[in-house]
Structure 1
Amino acid sequence: MSSHPTSPRPVADLFAADGRLVAIPRRPARREALLAHLAETLFASGRVYREAEVNEALKTVHEDYPALRRYLVVGGFLARTKDGAAYHRQRTAPLPGGATPSVA
């Protein structure tokens, strides 16, 4: 029987002293916690980012920025226009009145 604690470990455990990610977690719940943290700390709500800006922000934490970008989009933390040119942070909680943020 394993002796793993049942409470989740803090996201800070995933980062080295220099602020870079040690690894992208394989476990979905752990990866989801990381993605939520990255979305909140790297991307301002209400701002539209070009793909190059998203890449630069993600490169500050891990060299596999394409994987992080994909996980953020697939996980619903970032929304992307159909042509992939623009991204914006999505709210994880529903907006008041059922409004949905959109990109022009």
Structure 2
Amino acid sequence: MELSEIFWNASVEELKSGYIDKADSFICLLCGENVEKGIVYPYEGILYEAERYMRIHIEETHHSVFEYLLGLDKKFTGLTDHQNHLLRLFYQGKTDTEVREETGIGSVSTIRHHRFALKEKERQAKTFLTMMELLKEKDNHASAFVPPPKTARMVDERYNITQEEQEQIVKKYFLNGTEGHLKKFPLKEKQRLVVLSEIVKQLNRENTYNEAELNEILISFHDDYAMIRRYLIEYGFLDRKPDGSLYWLKK
């Protein structure tokens, strides 16, 4: 199961904790880190059981689930930049007076109004989430959509892809399996996204690649490896150092 699929299928409680409890391990929803059960893990001279170690991983690697979620694209959170900033300050435990002083927004009553507006947004989100859960139980004709990657820079119609469409695109462009050479590189963006999603599955999320190492992997898919590399960065799958010396999968 792809990390994005695990993330989007997680319950609210699982998202709050930042990890899911599987039969033999705990999996970080934010980066895919897998912590095996039944093993003790050392950290700063102390041994921790698996679940406690997963919590340490989230704190040390991602700071907090809240911070990570705030960093997602606004298409995922539904927040404006202004609301995002306010939530960050509220999470830090700042008073209305301190928030007003830091943001320079109107008066203390203005900040209270923003708090109220966010509570209204919470109530609306709960209502909508409940309706969608109930709809799942009745709607037998809904298409199964492929979850967009969490690292997507902008979620729009390009990501409106059903699982059936994904399978058709993969068969069309990967004639010898998804680890083989592409028949050609697609021009349409929706098809391009599916192809790029398959290519990144051959990269290790824990690895950092120099340019030569990355090129060696990408050339197995298409002779124009530089084009593939450019699109992987453009669509938010890869990140890199400013000088292009090192590349890694975004988490």
Q: TM-score, normalised by structure 2?
A: 0.32
Whole-Å separation in 1 of the counterparts to 2:176 and 2:198 = 17
Query: Is 1:13 equivalent to 2:172 in the alignment?
Result: yes
Whole-Å separation in 2 of the counterparts to 1:85 and 1:21 = 26
Give the % identical residues.
Answer: 34
Whole-Å separation in 2 of the counterparts to 1:33 and 1:16 = 14
Whole-Å separation in 1 of the counterparts to 2:189 and 2:196 = 10
Instruction: Structure 1: state its 5+ residue gaps.
Output: 1-5, 92-104
Contact 2:169/2:191 (CA < 8 Å) preserved in 1? no
Q: Which structure ranks higher in relative contact order (CA pairs < 8 Å, sequence separation ≥ 6)?
A: 1
Instruction: Structure 2: state its 5+ residue gaps.
Output: 1-161
Q: Deviations over 1:30-87 (max 9, x none)?
A: 10111111011x2100210001011000111110101000000111111011110000
Query: How far apart are residue 10 of structure 1 and its match?
Result: 3.9
Instruction: Determine which structure has more spread, i.e. the larger CA radius of gyration.
Output: 2
Aligned residues between the structures: 85
Whole-Å separation in 2 of the counterparts to 1:64 and 1:16 = 18
Query: How far apart are residue 90 of structure 1 and its match?
Result: 1.3
Whichever structure has more helix as a proportion of its residues is 2
Q: Deviations over 1:14-44 (max 9, x none)?
A: 123382101111110110111111011x210
Whole-Å separation in 2 of the counterparts to 1:46 and 1:12 = 28
What's the C-alpha RMSD, in Å, of the aligned pairs? 1.7
| Superposition pairs of residues 41-80 of structure 1, within 5 angstroms | 42-80=202-240
